[in-house]
Amino acid sequence: MARRIPIRNLYYLLCYAWDVLDERDDTLVTEMEGLSHVELLAKVLAVSVQRLWKRGLDRGYRTVADDVRSPRGQIDIPRMISRQLEPIGLAACRFDDLGHDVLHNQILATTARRLVRLPKLDAALRDAMIAIDRTLAEVATIPVRSSTFSQVQLHGRLRRYRLPIHVCELVHDQLIVDEVRGDVQFRDYVEDDKRMAKLFEDFVRNFYRRELAGWSVKRDVIDWDLVPLTPGAGQYLPKMQTDISLRGHGRTVIIDTKFYKEAFASRFDSDKLRPGHLYQLTAYLQNLAAANGGSDDDAAGVLLYPEVQPLPTLSYQYKRHRVTATGIDLTQDWKVIDQRLKDIVVAA
């Protein structure tokens, strides 16, 4: 973005987006100034692992195959015969071993070991990544893919792993690893429009979920106001789902977040709202009103952009719906951002 988001604001944005606000550490903010975007993630990872270590890293059982002198667990007869273990007093066994070498710890260890290889990482943070490697010395390095993270169930006692696991997921999404030469590069997620669009949407939704008392906040799936005339035609209709639907105090507000470097499309030297954004929002409002039997026929709609340049608030009337296009300046003090997001709903 043309105007750089302060590192402290990026930290708050990530905590809301990942719904880990309870794990936010405001004392860290003073230590973040001057960090790069990847160094912010390394800093949060270092502090998170340190906390986990103090509370006790999670342990779990894994099946181990080993040749031992004192038999335990299940004896592997074919292995004993093929390796001729009995004459030398060994037994091939498979048994469950309780230890730290479990998937969520493997993700933490692997991420730290990858970050150490970044060429421009701050020296103190490099030392912190080395410390994680030593702390998790018994934990294996694993191939980490997008599907790896879906295998970690972050509930119950593992809720305390949510923040560091989210950090690891973002790191691995943005890392480019040359396995032949061992080189590691990091693509800045703030410059990744697709990644930031998702983070911005999740941030706004979770902000309202936490900070707006008396409102329900969710994503609505809206039925199309279309009657299929061809048999089976209904299954070809695309899914219509809002980014954010707010309901409370007798009102409905639909917010569509748009993380664009430019909110306007220039045409003939004149700035115009992007037509696709307006079409999408008015389609939500029109079909929502029809689907709910008129109860939402005065629902409000908001197009919300992060400001990269001063953006006027533009309001229109569409049937009984108030439609607004506006922005939020993510470079401001966080208290100003907090109040601005609340004011947008009040004014919608």
Q: What is the 3-state secondary structure (H, E, C) of 126-192?
A: HHHHHHHHHHCCCCCCCCCCHHHHHCCCCCHHHHHHHHHHHHHHHHHHHEEEECCCCEEEECCHHHC
Statement to judge: residues 95 and 168 lie in one domain: no
Residue 326, Cβ neighbours under 10 Å: how many? 20
Statement to judge: residues 325 and 225 lie in one domain: yes
For residue 68, being part of any structural domain is answered with: yes
Statement to judge: residues 34 and 142 lie in one domain: yes
Statement to judge: residues 222 and 340 lie in one domain: yes
Confidence at residue 3, expressed as pLDDT on a 0 to 100 scale: 60
Statement to judge: residues 254 and 284 lie in one domain: yes
Report the C-alpha gap between 117 and 179 in whole angstroms. 12
Confidence at residue 84, expressed as pLDDT on a 0 to 100 scale: 87
Please give the structure tokens belonging to residue 288. Answer: 């929502």
Number of domains, the chain: 3
For residue 184, being part of any structural domain is answered with: yes
For residue 239, being part of any structural domain is answered with: yes
CATH code of the domain covering residue 289: 3.40.1350
Domain closes at, from 167, 191, 215: 191
Domain hosting 84: range is 62-99
Statement to judge: residues 335 and 226 lie in one domain: yes
Statement to judge: residues 18 and 154 lie in one domain: yes
For residue 153, being part of any structural domain is answered with: yes
Statement to judge: residues 34 and 129 lie in one domain: yes
Q: What is the mean pLDDT of each run of 10 residues along the chain (348 residues)?
A: 79 96 86 91 96 91 80 82 83 84 95 93 96 95 93 90 96 83 84 93 98 96 94 95 96 94 62 90 94 86 86 92 95 95 95
